[in-house]
């Protein structure tokens, strides 16, 4: 028995509904937290921070957000890029308008603003369902991008329409702008990820989460047993957009430092985050992390192997890379349609039975 | 367990199969049964005993539920069928009526019935004729023939599912809970249809049924399944007389039928195996 | 080794443009290695990194290569350039955004590490107007000029300049944005057909160029009144329209064609030796030449730095100084096998953008080649300089930079 | 005051008239009354001018052949269908056309003919959804979790555990419902409905697909719910044994029309009912 | 102003033609959705792949030349033949059928009965794969596609309208051809899906994979069939768009143009694709013509979506789509 669950008995309901009911998991989780917060910052360098860690952390936040909408509430959205843009432009405006306020709050407020915009675009979800809704959210995507590109107020009338993040500090340490240290940006994003994951987990294990899931699984039945579909769907849009807005804010201010809306928050971003959510596992917070890790790490890994180790021409490698990513997506889905998180779960179930089959 | 003497005219044979869902959930733990040609065989058992799973294992619909037959074999006409896809099995004459209705929601009632004749190379007139036959069994369907199946009542959908299977003129029908949700007189009618088809056209039936009472009245032979194992089998008439069957499946005690109001005392049920 | 990363894109929507540029860039460096044994005896190492024109991959490439001792970045993408401006500045590595990127980076007092010589977008806009002025004996007050542009930061660059110039010269400017990628331009071209502007200027990239030229042909717009920026002036853009594209004009800041001694060497030492970066079929195309020119400027800057510091191996800081003190003369270029290839210019601390000289090339569809129809002429500095100062100072203020030479 | 308590208070006033059943239970006044309901779908008339009432504390059965309009009637009661004509009276007041979730908040819970469980959730979560109307911490409190939200969760969980014990589904608490066999799903659905502490419980063929023993279990649960929680129950069922044994009064529908209404004994001997539905007289 | 009116009419006509081109792409989506409930994200990439293959075959390019040369140090490029458009189209169609077969056997056969979003995801994986494959096979450069379709202003219409109104309308010959071809395709497909027994089977499969299997409909057969047809439709779309703008990566993005069309017409309706296409084409062109200048132009990308969105609010299943069945 590698993996023990037997012998873990709960004596209270509180204990029973905790996030990691199994002791082994709980230890692993705490271990991961310690490593992430207390060990990684000492070893992280620019390359790991900018090429891997930051994109992973930020995409994970966005994926958690989208997962709430798609995975928990069943409303497929392709407007993620647009909502991230809202977060980015909101922080930009806030950063330049209120330079004295701590960037931490700017990011949070940007999330709040995105939540409002998200709710607005969530209104049609009351009538429109399934893929129709997915395509309809593209309207948000294209419209928002167009808007930020078109209205000079959003980019403070700069000549090219790009926005770039000025330097801001948190307790004296710069987290945006050119003079940041890898560990500082990493920790800043990590805090947001940890917070997002915790909030998402809390929301989804309680009444709100059940409302969302009820709507997802069968919206009519949910309404008949007493779920107000309007409120449930809009709250999902709001919470989801809140996280996505935060991700957009960090993406712009901490990670890239300068963005052009069409390029950074285009439709590809919407798809990318959706892939993360599905590959990771719909309706699993852990899945969002796994999905983000998978889609951020895999290309880097492939590139480094194909070009760095095997010395292939970069274009061949790039073509192969995208083929391999595509093929892996398919292979994973065929192996386990419910994503990496489910794959992990089944592995655990098997481990639990090990060495006896069944 | 099996009556060896009958083995040669068995149309369908299930040998000691084991079924696992999702690679981890073991549901059937070695089920064997045989269905003689031209017979009506009943598969009985409580909720979750594995009746549906057994039928799906035979018709190869398990794949689409991420289930797998890991052991044993299923023979139809003496040939294994595990590697054939469900469609080719239908062509070979085995059709399953799925539990829980499964109509094509967006198709009209009539279109639903017509899909049943998909595999047949029959003429238009023949199909027309069969359609009329089904309508004569279920006049209710004729009334609703142009409405979308998704909007018909539960019982109507059940009729559609059965009618659809009849439209393919199969050699063997696997019926999963045909009586579910049907009005009492219709239940009798359905079983009468089963009996007629069996007697007049020689259609073979394997039916999973909760309504043990009716099932045992019409079936020739019965198997009782519990927790993924066959716990008892025998000619239907014998099963009907078995005291355990009587008590647990027919709801009869020595004093005759009990009232549902009288069973309120808590009582642990005896199981053959658990 | 002297390390020159090449952030190329051979995949994605702009691959067709990225491939020849990167080939030219790398082949020239290979040539120096093969023929001369590097620069001043120090071998060149090119690290190619695929960005797919994607900013995030650009960042990844930057981070992956900067540790290898990268001396200079040439990202060939305005988006990635914007990304790298603060990062590279902080890391002290120079960026050369040749004919693209942030125009006001010309002000080296604010953008210490960014160079955009020999010409920038605003120069280009001014060149186009000057060309039109020249074609109309200096009077364009009654003309209608339309700008068809890629609806992105890149495409919007010339607008302010063109507006300023319209105030000065009195022409009427109409703006026709085309959304990325630019496959559908019916509306824009129907409008052009209706309003018959006297000139159309184009600021496109990728598929947009081909479609625009095709649509111009379709509505029978006079091709010699259609002027593209240098990024809209490659063979890729005109070839699909065939014969009918004849007469299309594009700006350029270097000469075109393969009629230079250096091409013989490239053939001999690189392509025929099987050392070409690509398939070796791009020699002499406009973008290949531009890539090669970029490599030439980079290596000459490195040479300048070697001379300045009297060392063979260079640090990024030394490279930066080399860039800032680069002087291109005709003699130098002739010696490199590129006589008459580019304008003469000199970089200074306060001017990272060269002299902003440009020329106009015209497409000859029969001969399938570009040829310069003008000499190099300057941009309207009178109009541009205030704009550049304003934009760079705004940046300086936002980022707490005190302008000045290092 | 919880919703349930509120409604109990309202109801008490109504129990002026009523009757006493054969086994001595006291049935109260009219709780729900359908007056001249007509429901059409395009050309199909699913319900034609039907009136009947349901009294406080009784078990009221609705029977009829397939497609008679029984489920549609339940849908009208739970606000999912809105009849073209007729009125619904509840607790002595005429009910305006409400959205289904508003109806649910008035204390009406139900199960469905084609099981409508939330397949992606565990049994426990499914049953907990029944308690949603008792959980009213806001989003922020839930995001923080510690404190009010956690207390509320535990509090409701205790109630749900009682229901789980009551229906004997402890063993499958953490199983995703998609893995359950048909019969157990029906039981979970009942648990979900009971968790809402309804006043009026609507059951649409709760015993379809069960064998006799399971039907006995189910009967026991229904009777106990009626007894212990005082829940009024409207029940659709095709098993005449069950209907006759459990119900206090029976409405019979055929082709959308009401063809009979009365005690089980009256109904089973009614020739119209025998012709339309029962086929043969049931003992 | 009669001038404005004339312009508006010209814009309208061109909008109609553009709409037909969108509809061509949308048609491929509809077919696959109709037959399996799969929202095929790869449709755009399929068009690109088909067009690339067509050019490659016509010009006699060696597939995977770059890879082979890199691996073995060879210098292969072309076989040295030039094929006519027709032969090329036939060969490419065969390749698309092979692709359909592979897609079914390697992917969708294993995903029967899964939720739509998972199937959708699989098509995204497929899109990635094919994008890489196409580039690897034929190279990422821009290719000129010429199967002999005429292009450019239609002189006849120009003269006729000029004589009538004093203003010659611009109609592109290529668009006229596209319209004719699209009309033929749509009629053929409508007949196929409405009047053949396969048509009914398609819809059955989309409703319930398992039940379809249980009545003996072979999902393999149906899916290979529709993916083949969708592949062919993609080829047609690829030819049209490729002729217009050269065959290159951006061709795969035309899928985005088709989505609002799909929404408006309904995911399951073949005539819907055409009608939706026309409405979107006309709508976005007229909007750009009338309102665009006031808001700064480039509205086409979002306008189509917003139009479709507003429309859906009133009719959630699109114009001709199948109604969502809402029952308990
Ligand atoms: N798709 C599935 N995934 C996992 N487990 C399943 C799946 N389908 C069925 N099972 C399990 O298999 C067992 C047998 O189920 P099955 O549906 O065959 O029972 P049954 O005898 O038909 O019951 P019922 O009379 O309720 O229909 C059950 O315990 C069920 O939990
Ligand atoms: N939403 C709807 N649209 C169209 N017709 C409907 C709709 N709902 C129900 N019907 C029709 O109304 C009639 C009554 O349906 P209902 O579901 O109420 O029957 P039922 O009495 O519950 O039958 P069963 O015992 O078979 O479940 C049926 O003929 C059905 O087809
Ligand atoms: Mg079953
Ligand atoms: Mg019903």
3-state secondary structure of D168: coil
Kindly give the distance from the C-alpha atom of residue B20 to the centroid of ligand 1, in angstroms, as a whole number: 11
Q: For residue range C65-118, what is the model confidence (pLDDT) as tens digits? A: 988 889 999 999 988 998 899 889 889 999 999 999 888 899 999 999 999 988
For domain D3-107+198-278, give the CATH number: 3.40.50.300
Nearest CB to A164: which of C10, C50, C82?
A: C82
Q: What is the mean pLDDT of residues D81-86?
A: 93
Do both B23 and B131 map to the same domain? no
Say how many residues make up chain D. Answer: 283
- Could you give the CA distance from residue C114 to residue C97 in angstroms, rounded to a whole number? 7
Distance from CA of A138 to the nearest CA of E (A): 7
CB atoms within 10 A of CB E9: 14
**With an 8 Å Cβ cutoff, is D75 touching chain E?**
yes
Contact E297, C175 (CB under 8 A): yes
Q: Which residues of chain D does B190 touch, with a Cβ-Cβ cutoff of 8 Å?
A: none
Q: For residue range C357-366, what is the model confidence (pLDDT) as tens digits? A: 999 999 999 9
Contact B195, B214 (CB under 8 A): no
Query: Is the predicted pLDDT of residue A7 greater than 80, yes or no?
Result: no
pLDDT given at position D44: 86
Do both B143 and B191 map to the same domain? no
Query: Is the predicted pLDDT of residue B255 greater than 80, yes or no?
Result: no
Q: What is the mean pLDDT of residues B127-137?
A: 91
CA distances from B204 to B42, B86, B94, B166, B177 (A): 11, 18, 9, 12, 16
Query: Is the predicted pLDDT of residue B20 greater than 60, yes or no?
Result: yes
Domains defined for chain A, CATH in brackets: 23-266 (1.10.3470)
Query: Is the predicted pLDDT of residue D4 greater than 50, yes or no?
Result: no
Do both B184 and B77 map to the same domain? yes
Nearest to C219 by CA among E300, E6, E289, E10: E10
For ligand 1, atom 8, which residue shows the shortest CA distance? D179
Query: Is the predicted pLDDT of residue D9 greater than 70, yes or no?
Result: no
Q: What is the mean pLDDT of residues E246-268?
A: 88
Q: Nearest ligand to the C-alpha of residue D253? A: 2
Fold classification of E3-314 (topology level): ABC transporter involved in vitamin B12 uptake, BtuC (1.10.3470)
Do both B201 and B211 map to the same domain? yes
Kindly give the distance from the C-alpha atom of residue D204 to the centroid of ligand 4, in angstroms, as a whole number: 7
- pLDDT-derived band at A21 (thresholds 50, 70, 90) equals low
pLDDT given at position B256: 62
- What ipTM was estimated for this complex? 0.90
Q: Which residues of chain C does E253 touch, with a Cβ-Cβ cutoff of 8 Å?
A: 13, 181, 183
Which chains neighbour B (Cβ–Cβ under 8 Å, 3 or more pairs)?
A, D, E
Query: Is the predicted pLDDT of residue A98 greater than 80, yes or no?
Result: yes
Q: What is the mean pLDDT of residues A337-353?
A: 77
Quick one: which H or E segment has residue E159? Answer: helix E155-165
Q: For residue range C264-299, what is the model confidence (pLDDT) as tens digits? A: 999 999 999 888 888 888 888 999 999 999 999 999
pLDDT given at position A18: 67
pLDDT given at position A354: 61
Q: For residue range C177-195, what is the model confidence (pLDDT) as tens digits? A: 998 888 888 889 989 988 8
Query: Ligand 2 — pocket residues by CB below 6 A?
Result: B 144, 151-156; D 41, 44, 46, 64, 66-72, 113; E 327
Between strands D30-41 and D85-90, the pairing is: antiparallel
Do both B17 and B44 map to the same domain? yes
Residue to substitute in B20, B24, B53 for testing ligand 1 pocket (most ligand atoms within 8 angstroms of CB): B53
Q: For residue range A297-316, what is the model confidence (pLDDT) as tens digits? A: 998 898 888 888 888 888 88
Percent of chain A with pLDDT over 70: 92
Long-range contacts (CB closer than 8 Å, 24 or more residues apart) made by D93-101? D99/A223, D99/A228, D100/A220, D100/A223, D100/A224, D101/A223, D101/A224, D101/A225, D101/A226, D101/A227, D101/A228, D101/A229
DSSP 8-state class, residue A174: E
Q: Give a yes or no: residue B208 inside a domain.
A: yes
> In this structure, what CATH number is given to the domain that contains residue B230?
3.40.50.300
Distance from CA of E216 to the nearest CA of B (A): 4
Residue contact A13–D119, C-beta within 8 A: no
Domain total in chain B: 2
Do both B81 and B34 map to the same domain? yes
Query: Is the predicted pLDDT of residue C148 greater than 90, yes or no?
Result: yes
Q: What is the mean pLDDT of residues D30-44?
A: 91
Q: Do chains A and E touch (3 or more CB pairs under 8 A)?
A: yes
- pLDDT-derived band at D16 (thresholds 50, 70, 90) equals low
Angle between helices A130-150 and E300-314 (to 10 degrees): 140
Distance from CA of C65 to the nearest CA of A (A): 9
Distance from CA of E35 to the nearest CA of B (A): 13
- Out of B169, B185, B220, a domain closes at B169
Query: Is the predicted pLDDT of residue A2 greater than 80, yes or no?
Result: no
Q: What is the mean pLDDT of residues B126-140?
A: 90
If you average pLDDT over each of A327-331, D200-204, E165-169, which comes out highest? D200-204
Q: Give a yes or no: residue B3 inside a domain.
A: no
- Could you give the CA distance from residue E204 to residue B105 in angstroms, rounded to a whole number? 8
- Could you give the CA distance from residue A26 to residue A31 in angstroms, rounded to a whole number? 8
* Residues E307, E310, E311: CA angle, nearest 5 degrees: 85
pLDDT given at position D282: 46
Q: For residue range C32-45, what is the model confidence (pLDDT) as tens digits? A: 999 999 998 999 99
Q: Which residues of chain A does D193 touch, with a Cβ-Cβ cutoff of 8 Å?
A: 225
Nearest CB to D113: which of B181, B182, B250?
A: B181
pLDDT given at position A246: 97
Do both B174 and B164 map to the same domain? no
Residues ≥6 apart with Cβ < 8 Å to B149: B103, B104, B105, B106, B107, B108, B109, B112, B157, B160
For ligand 1, atom 5, which residue shows the shortest CA distance? D179
Contact C208, C181 (CB under 8 A): yes
Contact C98, C137 (CB under 8 A): no
pLDDT given at position A46: 87
Percent of chain E with pLDDT over 90: 28
B65 CB near ligand 1 (under 6 Å): yes
Q: Cα–chain-centroid distance for residue D267?
A: 21
Q: Which residues of chain C does E284 touch, with a Cβ-Cβ cutoff of 8 Å?
A: 187
Angle between helices A80-97 and A54-67 (to 10 degrees): 120
Q: What is the mean pLDDT of residues E21-41?
A: 88
Query: Is the predicted pLDDT of residue D3 greater than 60, yes or no?
Result: no
Biggest alpha carbon distance in chain C? 63
Q: Give a yes or no: residue B152 inside a domain.
A: yes
Do both B57 and B187 map to the same domain? yes
Residue to substitute in B25, B31, B33, B59 for testing ligand 1 pocket (most ligand atoms within 8 angstroms of CB): B25
For chain D, give every domain's residue range: 3-107+198-278, 119-195
Contact A84, A244 (CB under 8 A): yes
pLDDT given at position A272: 92
- Could you give the CA distance from residue E41 to residue E259 in angstroms, rounded to a whole number? 10
Q: What is the mean pLDDT of residues A245-266?
A: 92
Quick one: which H or E segment has residue A133? Answer: helix A130-150
Q: What is the mean pLDDT of residues B189-205?
A: 89
Q: What is the mean pLDDT of residues E135-154?
A: 86
- Could you give the CA distance from residue A160 to residue A147 in angstroms, rounded to a whole number? 15
- pLDDT-derived band at A279 (thresholds 50, 70, 90) equals confident
Q: Whole-model pTM?
A: 0.91
Query: Is the predicted pLDDT of residue E197 greater than 60, yes or no?
Result: yes
Residue to substitute in D38, D68, D243 for testing ligand 2 pocket (most ligand atoms within 8 angstroms of CB): D68
- pLDDT-derived band at B66 (thresholds 50, 70, 90) equals confident
Contact C27, C19 (CB under 8 A): no
Domain that holds residue B109: 100-169
Residues ≥6 apart with Cβ < 8 Å to E283: E15, E303, E304, E307
Q: What is the mean pLDDT of residues E244-261?
A: 86
Residue contact E316–A316, C-beta within 8 A: no
H-state helical runs in C184-328: 186-195, 207-218, 235-238, 261-265, 286-309, 316-324
- pLDDT-derived band at A14 (thresholds 50, 70, 90) equals low
Query: Is the predicted pLDDT of residue B269 greater than 70, yes or no?
Result: no
DSSP 8-state class, residue C103: G
Q: Do chains B and C touch (3 or more CB pairs under 8 A)?
A: no
Residue contact A146–E128, C-beta within 8 A: no
Q: Which residues of chain D does A222 touch, with a Cβ-Cβ cutoff of 8 Å?
A: 118, 129
pLDDT given at position D225: 87
Q: For residue range A163-199, what is the model confidence (pLDDT) as tens digits? A: 888 889 999 899 998 888 999 999 999 999 999 999 9
Q: For residue range E80-115, what is the model confidence (pLDDT) as tens digits? A: 888 888 999 999 999 999 999 999 999 998 888 888
pLDDT given at position B263: 60
For chain E, give every domain's residue range: 3-314
């Amino acid at each position: 028995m590698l993996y023990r669950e037997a012998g873990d008995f709960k004596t209270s309901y509180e204990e029973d509904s905790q996030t990691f009911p199994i002791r082994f998991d709980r230890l692993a989780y705490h271990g991961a937290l310690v490593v992430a917060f207390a060990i990684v910052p000492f070893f992280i360098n620019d390359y790991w921070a900018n090429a891997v860690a930051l994109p992973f952390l930020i995409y994970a936040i966005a994926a958690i957000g989208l997962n709430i909408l798609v995975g928990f509430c069943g409303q497929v959205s392709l407007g993620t890029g647009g909502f991230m843009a809202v977060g980015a432009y909101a922080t930009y405006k806030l950063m330049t308008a209120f330079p004295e306020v701590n960037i931490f709050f700017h990011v949070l407020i940007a999330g709040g603003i995105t939540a409002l915009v998200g709710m607005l675009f969530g209104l049609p979800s009351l009538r429109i369902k399934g893929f129709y809704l997915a395509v309809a959210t593209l309207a948000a995507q294209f419209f928002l991008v167009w808007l930020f590109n078109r209205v000079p107020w959003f980019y403070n009338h700069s000549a090219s329409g790009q926005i770039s993040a000025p330097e801001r500090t948190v307790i004296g340490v710069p987290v945006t702008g050119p003079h940041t240290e890898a560990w500082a940006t990493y920790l800043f994003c990590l805090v947001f990820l940890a917070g997002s994951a915790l909030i998402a987990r809390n929301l989804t294990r309680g009444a709100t989460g059940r409302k969302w899931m009820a709507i997802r699984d069968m919206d009519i039945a949910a309404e008949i047993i007493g779920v107000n579909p309007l409120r449930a769907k809009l709250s999902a849009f709001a919470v989801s957009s809140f996280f996505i807005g935060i991700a957009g804010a960090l993406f712009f201010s901490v990670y890239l430092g300068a963005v052009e809306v069409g390029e950074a928050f285009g439709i590809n971003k919407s798809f990318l985050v959706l892939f993360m959510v599905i590959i990771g596992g719909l309706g699993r917070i852990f899945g969002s992390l796994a999905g983000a890790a998978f889609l951020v790490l895999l290309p880097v890994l492939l590139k480094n192997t194909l070009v760095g180790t095997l010395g292939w021409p970069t274009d061949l490698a790039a073509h192969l890379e995208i083929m391999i990513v595509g093929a892996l997506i398919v292979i994973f889905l065929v192996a386990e349609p419910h994503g990496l998180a489910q794959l992990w779960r089944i592995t655990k179930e098997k481990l639990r039975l090990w060495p006896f089959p069944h | 367990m099996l009556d060896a003497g009958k083995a040669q005219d068995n149309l369908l044979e299930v040998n000691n199969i084991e079924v696992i869902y999702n690679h981890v959930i073991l549901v059937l733990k070695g089920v064997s049964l045989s269905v003689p040609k031209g017979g009506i065989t009943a598969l009985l058992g409580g909720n979750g005993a594995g009746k549906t799973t057994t039928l799906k294992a035979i018709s190869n619909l398990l794949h689409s539920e991420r289930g797998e037959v890991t052991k044993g074999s299923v023979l139809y006409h003496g040939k294994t069928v595990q590697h054939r896809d469900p469609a080719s099995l239908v062509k070979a004459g085995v059709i399953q009526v799925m539990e829980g209705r499964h109509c094509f929601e967006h198709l009209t009632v009539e279109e639903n019935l017509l899909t049943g004749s998909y595999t047949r190379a029959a003429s238009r007139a023949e199909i027309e004729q069969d359609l009329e036959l089904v309508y004569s069994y279920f006049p209710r369907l004729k009334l609703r023939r142009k409405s979308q199946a998704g909007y018909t009542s539960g019982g109507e959908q059940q009729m559609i599912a059965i009618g659809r299977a009849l439209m393919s003129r199969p050699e063997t029908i696997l019926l999963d809970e045909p009586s579910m949700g049907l009005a009492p007189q219709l239940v009798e009618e359905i079983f009468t249809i089963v009996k007629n088809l069996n007697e007049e056209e020689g259609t073979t039936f394997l039916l999973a049924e909760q309504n043990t009472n009716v099932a045992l009245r019409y079936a020739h032979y019965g198997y009782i399944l519990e927790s993924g194992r066959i716990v008892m089998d025998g000619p239907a008439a014998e099963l009907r007389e078995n005291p355990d069957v009587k008590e647990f499946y027919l709801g009869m005690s020595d004093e005759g039928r009990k009232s549902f109001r009288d069973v309120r005392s808590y009582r642990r049920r005896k199981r053959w195996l658990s | 080794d002297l390390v020159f990363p090449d952030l190329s894109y051979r995949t994605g929507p702009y691959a067709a443009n990225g491939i020849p540029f990167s080939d030219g860039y790398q082949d020239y460096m290979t040539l120096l290695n093969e023929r001369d044994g590097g620069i001043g005896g120090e071998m060149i190492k090119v690290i190619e990194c695929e960005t797919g024109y994607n900013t995030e991959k650009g960042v990844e490439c930057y981070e992956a290569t900067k540790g290898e001792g990268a001396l200079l970045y040439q990202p060939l993408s305005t988006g990635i350039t914007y990304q790298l401006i603060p990062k590279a500045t902080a890391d002290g590595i120079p960026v050369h955004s040749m004919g693209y990127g942030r125009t006001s980076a010309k002000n080296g007092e604010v953008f210490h590490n960014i160079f955009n010589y020999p010409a920038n977008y605003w120069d280009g806009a001014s060149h186009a107007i000057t060309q039109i002025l020249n074609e109309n004996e200096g009077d364009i007050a009654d003309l209608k000029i339309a700008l068809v542009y890629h609806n992105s930061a890149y495409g919007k660059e010339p607008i302010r300049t063109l507006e300023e110039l319209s105030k000065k010269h009195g022409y009427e400017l109409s703006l026709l944005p085309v959304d990325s990628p630019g496959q559908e331009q019916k509306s824009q071209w129907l409008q052009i057909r209706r309003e018959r502007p006297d000139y159309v200027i184009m600021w496109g990239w990728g598929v947009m160029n081909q479609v625009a030229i095709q649509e111009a042909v379709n509505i029978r717009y006079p091709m010699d009144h259609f002027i593209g920026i240098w990024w809209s002036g490659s063979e890729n853009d005109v070839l699909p329209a065939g014969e009918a594209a004849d007469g299309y004009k594009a700006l350029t800041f270097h000469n075109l064609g393969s009629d230079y001694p250096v091409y013989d060497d490239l053939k001999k030492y690189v392509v025929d030796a099987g050392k070409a970066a690509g398939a070796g079929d791009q020699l002499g195309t406009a973008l290949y030449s531009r890539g090669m020119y970029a490599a030439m400027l980079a290596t000459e800057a490195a040479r300048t730095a070697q001379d300045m510091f009297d060392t063979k191996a260079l640090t990024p800081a030394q490279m930066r100084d080399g860039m800032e003190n680069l002087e291109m003369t005709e003699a130098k270029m002739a010696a490199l096998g590129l006589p008459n290839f580019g304008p003469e210019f000199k970089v200074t601390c306060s001017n990272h953008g060269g002299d902003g000289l440009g020329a106009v090339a015209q497409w000859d569809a029969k001969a399938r080649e570009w040829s310069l129809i003008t000499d190099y002429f300057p941009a309207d500095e009178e109009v541009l300089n205030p704009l550049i100062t304003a934009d760079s100072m705004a940046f300086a203020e936002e980022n707490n930079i005190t302008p000045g030479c290092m | 005051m919880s919703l349930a308590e509120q409604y109990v208070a309202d109801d008490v006033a109504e129990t002026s008239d009523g009757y006493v059943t054969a086994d001595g239970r006291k049935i109260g006044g009219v709780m729900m009354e359908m007056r001249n309901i007509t429901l059409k779908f395009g050309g199909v008339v699913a319900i034609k001018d039907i009136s009947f009432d349901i009294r406080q504390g009784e078990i009221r059965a609705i029977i009829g052949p397939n497609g008679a309009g029984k489920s549609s009637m339940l849908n009208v009661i739970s606000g999912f269908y809105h009849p073209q004509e007729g009125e619904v009276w509840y607790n002595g007041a005429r009910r305006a056309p409400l959205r289904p979730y508003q109806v649910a908040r008035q204390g009406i819970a139900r199960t469905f003919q084609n099981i409508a469980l939330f397949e992606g959730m565990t049994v426990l979560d499914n049953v907990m959804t029944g308690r949603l109307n008792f959980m009213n911490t806001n989003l922020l409190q839930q995001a923080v979790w510690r404190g009010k939200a956690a207390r509320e969760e535990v509090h409701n969980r205790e109630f749900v555990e009682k229901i789980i014990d009551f229906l004997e589904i402890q063993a499958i608490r953490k199983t995703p419902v998609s893995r359950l066999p048909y019969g157990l799903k029906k039981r979970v659905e009942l648990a979900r409905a009971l968790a809402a502490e309804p006043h009026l419980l609507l059951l649409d063929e709760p015993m379809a697909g069960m064998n006799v023993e399971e039907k006995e279990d189910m009967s026991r649960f229904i009777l106990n719910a009626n007894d212990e929680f005082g829940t009024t129950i409207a029940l659709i069922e095709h098993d005449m044994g069950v209907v006759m044994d459990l119900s206090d009064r029976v409405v019979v529908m055929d082709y959308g029309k009401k063809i009979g209404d009365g005690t089980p004994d009256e109904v089973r001997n009614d020739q119209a009912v025998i012709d339309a539905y029962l086929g043969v007289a049931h003992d | 102003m009669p001038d404005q009116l004339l312009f508006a009419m010209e814009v309208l006509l061109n909008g109609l033609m553009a709409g037909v081109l969108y509809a061509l792409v949308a048609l491929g989506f509809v077919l696959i959705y109709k037959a399996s409930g799969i929202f095929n994200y790869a449709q755009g990439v399929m068009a690109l792949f088909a067009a690339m293959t067509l050019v490659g075959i016509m010009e006699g390019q060696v597939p995977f030349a770059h890879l082979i040369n890199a691996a073995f140090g060879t210098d292969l490029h072309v076989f040295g033949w030039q094929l006519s458009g027709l032969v090329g189209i036939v060969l490419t169609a065969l390749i698309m059928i092979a692709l359909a077969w592979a897609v079914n056997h390697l992917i969708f056969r294993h995903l029967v009965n899964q939720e739509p979003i998972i199937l959708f995801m699989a098509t995204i994986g497929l899109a990635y794969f094919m994008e890489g494959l196409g580039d690897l096979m034929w190279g990422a450069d821009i290719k000129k596609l010429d199967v002999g379709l005429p292009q450019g202003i239609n002189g006849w219409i120009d003269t006729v309208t000029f004589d009538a109104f004093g203003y010659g309308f611009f109609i592109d010959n290529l668009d006229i051809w596209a319209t004719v071809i699209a009309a033929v395709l749509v009629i053929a497909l409508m007949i196929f899906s409405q009047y053949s027994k396969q048509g009914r089977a398609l819809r059955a499969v989309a409703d319930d994979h398992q039940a379809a299997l249980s009545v003996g409909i072979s999902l393999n057969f149906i899916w290979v069939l529709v993916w083949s047809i969708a592949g062919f439709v993609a080829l047609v779309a690829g030819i049209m768009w490729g002729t217009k703008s050269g065959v290159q990566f951006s061709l795969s993005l035309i899928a985005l143009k088709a989505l609002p069309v799909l929404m408006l017409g309904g995911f399951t309706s073949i005539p819907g694709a055409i009608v939706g296409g026309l409405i979107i084409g006309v709508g976005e062109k007229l909007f750009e013509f009338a309102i665009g200048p006031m808001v700064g132009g480039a509205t086409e990308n979002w306008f189509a979506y917003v139009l479709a969105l507003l429309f859906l609010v009133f009719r959630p299943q699109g114009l001709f789509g199948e109604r969502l069945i809402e029952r308990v």
